[in-house]
A and B are shown apart, each in its own frame.
Chain A
Amino acid sequence: MGWLGSSLLVTYMSLVILIPVIALVGHAFTGGLPAFWDAITQTEALDAIRLTVLVAFATAFINAIAGTAIAWVLVHDRFIGKSLLNSIIDLPFALPTVVAGITLVTLYGPYSPVHINVANSWVGIMVALLFVTLPFNVRAVQPVLESMDFSAEEAASTLGSRPLRTFIYVTLPTLVPSILSGMGLAFARAIGEFGSVVFISGNEPFHTEVASSYIFALSQDGELNSAAAVSVFLLVFALVVLGVFGFLSRRISQRIQ
């Protein structure tokens, strides 16, 4: 590939992502470190970040369990409609977040046809996050379960272990790395999620406002530097969490082998 081709590619990527990120970091620190610190320690900012992180953690945790169970069912169980279940798992990947957002608030909000109202609360936020991150958890575990060597598991069950014990002591340890990497992806996605959350969360400052809504609100109020500061913090946080989960997952899989 010629020099021209490579420079076109790098130019395109610079225009689309590199220059904007540099501008973002530049704006975050235009007032120096004190201004940056000020921006991310505003009570509203801290509340939004705390809420986002806690709910994202809870989400990743719940979906790690649910996703593993679903993956297990998809791999081991047989029933009519399994392939439908398998394809519907990917829907949150393909469905625009705004569609998820208005649908979830209609279904589980004040006018719920099933009389469940979790709107304007952290539970509502979590429902939206559970929806958008489910495929990460299922798809991280499923291929590992599929390719797993079942002789160990079978040996354990012929030795008289109960199925549940077999799962906990034999199957689960080998799944931990993939469960962790699924959690990492889900967590990173949940931290930045916007479209599916804003409708059901109610966006009430200090209470149900997630970090991305807070950044959006700041940007609408023209507080671009503060918005940039919180963004940079959130971005670094997401990268660190991804790194930590990736590291843990690699370490554990090394120890298993």
Chain B
Amino acid sequence: MKRRSLALRFVALFYVAVLVGAPLVLVFQRAFSPGLDSVWHSLTASDTASAIRLTLVVAAITLPLNVIFGVGASLLIVRHPSKFSRLLDTLIDVPLAISPIIIGLALELAYASNGVFGRALAHLGWQIIFSWPGIVLASAAVSLPLVSREMVPLLREIGDSQEQTAATLGAKPARIFFTITLRSVAWAAAYGATLTLARIIGEYGAVLIVSGNITNKTQTLTLDIASNFENFATQQGFAGAALLAMISIGVLIVLSLAKQRERKNYEYHD
């Protein structure tokens, strides 16, 4: 028994090391082996700097939109059942089952200036595809369910008796929302928001299609990394990749903290 479980431990460790550990080490090794100066140069080169800027702008627009949407949708689904909420409930998880490439393609078909919807928008002078609004739409689509997936089960589990008690104590709906509902799902919402942010920053396929991949213009950091890598600016590509890898590690840390806090707050006595 002992020997066999020891063997299993090493198989598991080896598998994870080869598949996940080694790539992680390699990213940092490739990025940092030429020295910090070189990393700095790579990240401040005009294309990468502009890609980072665009990524931040897209995240700054998309994250709040999707968090507000996710919180609102969860409340509608759990607390206000109706035709609307059932529609939301069925459609909201769809993006998780679709390839990002297909999401990108679908957005292009809908919003390109020769597309169904895009033509009307083009008449108004709004360019969606091959421009930043398209990137925002793509990021929003791929990360759409991430907040509500965390919140819906928690809201169901908590039930609405706390909210109703607050109402008997004289609180108005807005006050109940901010002091009870939001407070009791805050960590789940934070968890979902962190996942959303990670997904927005890291999205590649969907953004590749809708952005047109124009250097210095519509390239996000992931696109910039890919094109540097393909154009033999490997060093620069890995500098960006290391930046994203560090963000991912940060995300994982935040997620595990949020999980811990959530557990602590909602442990029931019985």
Q: Which residues of A contact B (CB under 8 A)?
A: 1, 5-10, 12-13, 15-24, 26-27, 66, 69-70, 72-73, 76-77, 79, 85, 87-92, 94-104, 106-107, 113-114, 127, 130-131, 134, 163-164, 188, 191-195, 199, 211-213, 215-216, 219, 224, 227-228, 231, 234-235, 238-239, 242
Of the candidates B107, B144, B251, the one whose C-beta lies within 8 Å of that of A13 is: B144
Collect the chain B residues with CB atoms within 8 Å of residue A97's CB. 202, 204-205
B144 and A17 within 8 A (CB): yes
Collect the chain A residues with CB atoms within 8 Å of residue B12's CB. 66, 69-70, 72-73, 85
CA distance A151 to B208 in the complex (A): 52
A215 and B88 within 8 A (CB): no
Collect the chain A residues with CB atoms within 8 Å of residue B229's CB. 102, 199
A89 and B79 within 8 A (CB): no
19 A-B residue pairs with Cβ-Cβ distance under 8 Å, sorted by A, are A6-B84, A9-B72, A17-B144, A23-B106, A23-B116, A24-B110, A27-B109, A73-B9, A88-B16, A96-B202, A96-B248, A113-B26, A130-B19, A131-B19, A134-B16, A164-B4, A192-B99, A211-B99, A234-B99
Known: A99-B27, A192-B101, A242-B97. A17 touches B73 (CB 8 A): no
Say how far B137's CB is from chain A's closest CB, in angstroms.
6
Top 6 nearest A-B pairs by Cβ distance? A192-B99, A96-B202, A20-B106, A23-B110, A195-B204, A94-B248
B97 and A88 within 8 A (CB): no
Which positions 70-110 of chain B face chain A at CB distance < 8 Å?
A: 72-73, 75-76, 79-80, 82, 84-85, 87-88, 91-92, 94-95, 97-110
Say how far B233's CB is from chain A's closest CB, in angstroms.
11
Collect the chain A residues with CB atoms within 8 Å of residue B21's CB. 88
Known: A70-B16, A99-B241, A194-B99. 8 other contacts (CB 8 A): A19-B117, A23-B110, A77-B5, A89-B16, A106-B234, A194-B101, A194-B205, A238-B98
Collect the chain B residues with CB atoms within 8 Å of residue A234's CB. 99, 102
CA distance A23 to B121 in the complex (A): 15
CA distance A188 to B4 in the complex (A): 33
* B49 interface contact, C-beta 8 A: no
Collect the chain B residues with CB atoms within 8 Å of residue A228's CB. 105-106, 109
Say how far B54's CB is from chain A's closest CB, in angstroms.
15
* B226 interface contact, C-beta 8 A: yes
Collect the chain B residues with CB atoms within 8 Å of residue A195's CB. 100, 204-205, 222
A73 and B8 within 8 A (CB): yes
CA distance A187 to B88 in the complex (A): 25
* B69 interface contact, C-beta 8 A: yes
CA distance A127 to B97 in the complex (A): 21
Known: A20-B110, A69-B11, A94-B252. A163 touches B201 (CB 8 A): no
Range for the number of chain B residues in contact with chain A: 35 or more
B105 and A24 within 8 A (CB): yes
Collect the chain B residues with CB atoms within 8 Å of residue A130's CB. 19
Collect the chain A residues with CB atoms within 8 Å of residue B190's CB. none
Using CB atoms, name the residue of chain A closest to B94.
Answer: A17
CA distance A6 to B108 in the complex (A): 27
Say how far A99's CB is from chain B's closest CB, in angstroms.
4
B79 and A191 within 8 A (CB): no
CA distance A70 to B137 in the complex (A): 37
* B22 interface contact, C-beta 8 A: yes
Using CB atoms, name the residue of chain B closest to A102.
Answer: B229
Say how far B145's CB is from chain A's closest CB, in angstroms.
10
Using CB atoms, name the residue of chain A closest to B204.
Answer: A195
CA distance A97 to B24 in the complex (A): 13
Using CB atoms, name the residue of chain B closest to A230.
Answer: B102
Which positions 207-260 of chain B face chain A at CB distance < 8 Å?
A: 208-209, 222-223, 225-226, 229, 234, 237-238, 241, 244-245, 248-249, 251-252, 255-256
Collect the chain A residues with CB atoms within 8 Å of residue B110's CB. 19-20, 22-24
Known: A194-B204, A219-B105. A134 touches B19 (CB 8 A): yes
A1, A87, A101, A193 — most chain B CB neighbours (10 Å)? A1
